[in-house]
Structure 1
């Protein structure tokens, strides 16, 4: 059984509502500087040029659209200063480099050296202890190819200084 909700006489409801409304904190400094706290969220978004409801902006076409009757596409609003500033920040931010653990990097090097692009053979390798499927191995190696370690591997391989036996204690027949 749950406790019945009752009115709290010791609390001022009006003051609590005002406090709750005043708690609105915007973490993005660009949006925060242009935000007008007297307006609603929807009107602030419209003023800033940001979509409040993506379903209104990007409507899913109905069956009539598939049959050939097209509705007029609403004109695109011009970009506001806030939207331009947000786009500039997004373009300037650096992407994180792909991270793969050291063990996975060694595993990828081993597989690339022995099997090349034969992912089916990689699945049957005894060192595939986690029993990764060919698709999982393909994704892992694609992710590995985006790391700086792969670039150093390619340089060493071109120079002829890379030896898989140095990394793993195995006998590789050349």
Structure 2
């Protein structure tokens, strides 16, 4: 499962290499990956990339038209001009000859592609809270995220609406005023 810092590094890399490139072709290999059925990937053809940003474990490839959101899920990834053993779900071709390959190495499809005008049209992005990896993230935002849960930070940190950088397997805890003991591990 890609973690937020890995997705941030990918966003920065793609931003350096894709900005100002025009999309000249798209190829959807696995139709189940496209989450916006009314808006096909073909709508991106002819658009010029204006930037790549990370939202939690999602990437937005912003263009001068509709944008492409890649939701990585458990085992999804994107590669620029590289091949991977994982099944290819989609490919985006650029006027420079580069191609962005979107893959999912999981045993079930967890990656999603969405063609949107506004990144907040993707429900899982719309409910994300402030990003703790953002340099502008402040102590005041942290205090607001904790709210009245100041003595129970473990459940709060597991909530994606309070902290979109969460997602690693973390122990679920049974917290009381006297103790906080791990009970089991689960994916969040």
State whether TM-score is above 0.5.
no
Greater RCO, CA 8 A, separation 6+: 2
TM-score of the two chains, using structure 1 as the length reference = 0.20
TM-score of the two chains, using structure 2 as the length reference = 0.19
Q: Which has the larger radius of gyration?
A: 1
Higher helix share: 1
